[in-house]
Structure 1
Amino acid sequence: MNTISDVIMVKSERHDVAYVLRICSVAALGGILFGYDTSVISGAIGPLQTFFHLSPAATGWAVSNVVVGCIFGALASGWLAHHLGRRMTLFVCALLFSIQSIGAALAPDFFWFVLYRMLGGVAVGIASAVSPMYMSEVSPKDMRGRALSMEQFAIVFGQVVVFIVNYFIARTASTEWLQTMGWRWMFASEILPCILFCATIFLIPESPRWHMLKGREENARKTLTRISNERHAGSLMNEIRESIGSEEGRSSFGLAGLLRDRNARWIVFVGAAVAALQQVTGINVMMYYAPMVLKTTSGSIQEALFQTIWIGVSMLVGCIVGAWIVDRKGRRPLIQYGSIIMMVSLLVVSWALYSQSTGLLALIGMLGFMFAFGFSWGPVAWILVSEIFPNRFRAIGMSVAVASNWAANFMVAQGFPMISQNAWLNAHFHGAFSMWLFAALGAVAMWFVMRYVPETKGISLEKIEATMMSLAPVRHAPIPDEIDTDGVKSPLTPSR
């Protein structure tokens, strides 16, 4: 039989789930633009290669130049998010996306095309850090996985939408029209989600944790009360206040502070490694170059674009599965099982390429890979990167981690065309070599997470630091000497 105090406590912990999901869905529009902008190139790369007379290296640059912008955007995201706030920074992203969409569509030559795409990359880099940062800061701990999964769902949804748009633009078009005008329409179509993002971004509140960092506690209390209730808001504000610490902690935790803090150095290293390893699994070969890979087995660019839609749909289904189970099963099991399925799927694709099969074997392997990535590395990497950094250096930590993600993305995007079009490798392996390489790197990525990343399911952002340090090498281990906010001695505290 519940006591009155038990009933009050249960009631105090209830959250307005619909409200949280609603404001996260608006922030997730940044993810839709992220997916749309990075994947629009998949349908345009063939016509662009012909229109601008691109070599294999230049073809890689046409794809990967946007990633250079992403790196700069990610590095700038921490400063922008700290000084402008999470919401205003997302609005800046929406403006940059809009400029890029029109500019790339109207580019008179390859130089201007690259310039506008890099500008769009800056927007992607900022959005890829700030959108999940915002979601993690407004989401209660028991639904943070579901809320952050919306970011990956939004990214994949944007990719599926652009795959469909690209297919319908190219479906009945002549090769000549695609090479002169079709690719321009593909880039111009991005303006519609840009307008939607600009129109809705100010319908959501600013992050309460950013308000706390700035000393605007009443604003933070108002948002947290709306998310849950006044009692829970007061309790959480106390935890946030303690995690921020002194007035010095309220200032921007910059590079100097990061270098002085051994816990921060280790956690940022782990976050950056997880973010980079997501890319070396080979995901963006599927997203950027799927039509080029499938064209060798499907026979035409139109059929390859049609098959690419189903690759995106497969990943979308995986994202739905991941969002459903991530707060039930945790982060680590999804990474483990997803990695194994991804490696097996890559071996299937490699066999189809190596044996020069003209059937659906390559597509089946890609579908399996995308589904597994959709429920594992896709959402979980972004969830981990969004929740493993303590409040005092979350902005700079996510900035470094997301920049490392895009740096790895650049290496994959730039290097794949040169590997896939290498005459010696093609003569001996028929395109299978890169799939073997990514399968091996996937094994390394799984090992790293299982060795150095603890389970973070159900842990509040204010208590994440001790959890992260529990798997750190001995030389980085902290020597805590305090009681946590629940009054329970930390498991890392030495016995007296």
Structure 2
Amino acid sequence: MSSKTKQTGLYLALLTLVATLGGLLFGYDTAVVNGAEKSLVDFFIKHITTDNAYAVSMITQYKILVSTVIVLVLAILSTQIFKLVGRTKGGITVAVLFVVAIIWIVNYVSQAVPTDTALLQDMADSIKGFVISSALVGCIIGGSISGFISNSLGRKKGLLICAIAFCISAIGAWNPDGFNFFFINDAYSFVIYRIIGGLGVGLASALSPMYIAEIAPAESRGKLVSFNQFAIIFGMLVIYFVNYFIAKSGDAQWLTNTGWRWMFFSGIIPAGIFFILLFFVPETPRFLAMKGNDEKALSVLSKIVGEKEATTELAEIKETLHEKSSPWLSYGWAVIIIGILLSIFQQFVGINVVLYYAGNIFRNMGADTDSSLLQTIVVGIVNLTFTCVAIVKVDKFGRKPLMIIGALGMAISMILLGFTFYFQTVGLGSLILMLLYTASFAMSWGPVTWVLLSEIFPNSIRGAMSIAVAAQWLANLIISWTFPMMNDNKWLTGVFHQGFAYWIYGVMGLLAAFFVWKFLPETKGKTLEEIEKFWKK
């Protein structure tokens, strides 16, 4: 290997490393709530069933916030519908959605605050799901505007916005009562700061793999984009350790009052490092070419692929940019629908229930707080290990085989896990099934979904990736919000002994395997331009 080749390889590796810090923060920020979940419930939520005035205030503001979230999500959905089918065709659909939403909101907000203890507990479970998963509201917003941000400000500036959002969220979630400028309950001040962090996660979830995909050569693109997923999982593992050692620093009361705050504040360290390093990386060649800055694009390409290949690579990029303002349906519905379904199935298999509520699940298996956090670290290690398997195999084994095998592995694991709860035989076997499920996801749908999303959208409609990313976060919010309602509901628990939710996720795994087998094209070894030609056919 020549010294020039080594230089370009090192430069590419450094750019990938910086971009993957967005993935690390993605994992760090979303998984931090796992260790803090019980403390947040004890600090903010459990008093709902014992303090009537607190219950009225919390539930009233909760209804207003939920209504606001619904309107916000509908507004985001509306912009995506307009971009897909135009204002004329989309106007009727949007109008119907808003009318139905307004009728539901008026009815929902006008309902009296329940006084029955059982109903209050159900409402507390719903609020718990909202508080724990609140960052996902920001993720939906960030994911939906990622296309606009990436095309108008650029990939690099978009990642800078991510870093700033992470910093604000870490500080605000650390002290939501002290920085409560919103004239609402402290619990919902916490929610707002988590939403700001979620905005950063949503943007990073699209921009980090996009940045890597646009600087990586075709032969190593799958591997390099997979490193973003590695960084996500590594970020999760880091925060699992941080949460564990913070929890060990004091007793249960200290953890409820103070410990959880430091879990969130710890995110300021990786966020600050990410912010600083972004000033030392260039914009991607594809964005520079899109903006007509060919000279700078050629300079960046020369450092990535070498001077000889740079001119050819730039010519191929420019060939795909003649339709840079193309409507999102220029390549038909197939690429849009496949992107959306990839995102939805990645979440509906239930992975983020494991990542956000692992401590809760292990406590249901009989573990105490320290043991549950330790077992969560084991899940994180398995997740990281099998993500490495995917990184090694994704460019050799292919995308489709990994996705099908992974989906079937998750389906079997979740269905059997549900039976261990149903027959009340929870123990070591349940832990093994949880680890098998995590391994199946980590070697397939975790990293490979992001590889596929970064590959399948043609350059001229790359902004349409925002639809898939927004759908992913909306599906994540639905799953994460509803899990406590299913898992803690007295009737469902009485009948299914907490096995019901896992069966739902198992069925979704089977459907995901069928979808990949039947509809997903293989992209292994193809350049982005070759994949674009596939959709044209």
**TM-score in terms of structure 1 length:** 0.88
The answer on 1:103 being equivalent to 2:175 is no
| 1:15–1:328 distance in 2 versus 1, CA, 3 Å | farther
The answer on 1:84 being equivalent to 2:76 is no
Quote the residue 1:473 is aligned against.
none
Query: Aligned-pair distance for 1:172?
Result: 4.7
The answer on 1:128 being equivalent to 2:205 is yes
Give distance in 2, aligned partners of 1:151 and 1:121.
17
Quote the residue 1:452 is aligned against.
519
Quote the residue 1:4 is aligned against.
none
Quote the residue 1:187 is aligned against.
264
The answer (yes or no) to whether the contact 1:86–1:134 under 8 Å persists in 2 is yes
The answer on 1:424 being equivalent to 2:501 is no
Q: How does 1:163-174 map to 2 (within 5 A)?
A: 163-174=240-251
- The correspondence for 1:437, drawn from 504, 510, 516, is 504
Give distance in 2, aligned partners of 1:408 and 1:165.
28
**TM-score in terms of structure 2 length:** 0.81
* Partner AA of 2:132 in structure 1: V
Quote the residue 2:453 is aligned against.
385
Task: Report Cα offsets for 1:88-132 as digits up to 9, x if no partner.
Answer: 110111011000000011011112101100111111101100000
The answer (yes or no) to whether the contact 2:26–2:205 under 8 Å persists in 1 is yes
Unpaired runs of at least 5, structure 2: 47-123, 178-185
Quote the residue 1:286 is aligned against.
354
- The correspondence for 2:34, drawn from 32, 38, 42, is 42
* Partner AA of 1:443 in structure 2: L
Give distance in 1, aligned partners of 2:161 and 2:249.
37
The answer (yes or no) to whether the contact 2:487–2:498 under 8 Å persists in 1 is yes
Task: Report Cα offsets for 1:139-184 as digits up to 9, x if no partner.
Answer: 0000001100111000000000111111111125211111111111
Quote the residue 1:69 is aligned against.
138
Task: Report Cα offsets for 1:37-63 as digits up to 9, x if no partner.
Answer: 011011111111111125100110012
The answer (yes or no) to whether the contact 2:135–2:196 under 8 Å persists in 1 is yes
Give distance in 1, aligned partners of 2:426 and 2:398.
39
Quote the residue 2:51 is aligned against.
none
| 1:13–1:332 distance in 2 versus 1, CA, 3 Å | farther
* Partner AA of 1:407 in structure 2: L
The answer on 1:351 being equivalent to 2:419 is yes
Quote the residue 1:484 is aligned against.
none
Query: Aligned-pair distance for 1:13?
Result: 10
Q: How does 1:135-174 map to 2 (within 5 A)?
A: 135-174=212-251
Query: Aligned-pair distance for 1:346?
Result: 1.4
Give distance in 2, aligned partners of 1:357 and 1:190.
38
The answer on 1:276 being equivalent to 2:268 is no
Q: How does 1:273-422 map to 2 (within 5 A)?
A: 273-394=341-462, 396-422=463-489
Aligned residue for 1:244, secondary structure, equals coil
Give distance in 2, aligned partners of 1:406 and 1:202.
28
| 1:298–1:19 distance in 2 versus 1, CA, 3 Å | farther
Number of aligned residues: 451
Aligned residue for 1:327, secondary structure, equals coil
The answer (yes or no) to whether the contact 1:214–1:250 under 8 Å persists in 2 is no
- The correspondence for 1:226, drawn from 280, 285, 303, is 303
Task: Report Cα offsets for 1:330-368 as digits up to 9, x if no partner.
Answer: 100100111121122213322322232352222111111
The answer on 1:266 being equivalent to 2:326 is no
| 1:341–1:186 distance in 2 versus 1, CA, 3 Å | same
Aligned residue for 1:340, secondary structure, equals helix
The answer on 1:26 being equivalent to 2:18 is yes
| 1:264–1:200 distance in 2 versus 1, CA, 3 Å | farther
The answer (yes or no) to whether the contact 1:14–1:228 under 8 Å persists in 2 is no
The answer (yes or no) to whether the contact 2:411–2:508 under 8 Å persists in 1 is no
Quote the residue 2:74 is aligned against.
none
Q: CA RMSD in A?
A: 1.8
Give distance in 2, aligned partners of 1:18 and 1:465.
29
The answer (yes or no) to whether the contact 2:324–2:459 under 8 Å persists in 1 is no
- Shifted more, 80-89 versus 351-360: the winner is 351-360
Give distance in 2, aligned partners of 1:14 and 1:30.
25
- The correspondence for 1:52, drawn from 44, 60, 64, is 44
Runs (4+) of structure 1 exceeding 6 A deviation are 10-15
| 1:68–1:125 distance in 2 versus 1, CA, 3 Å | same
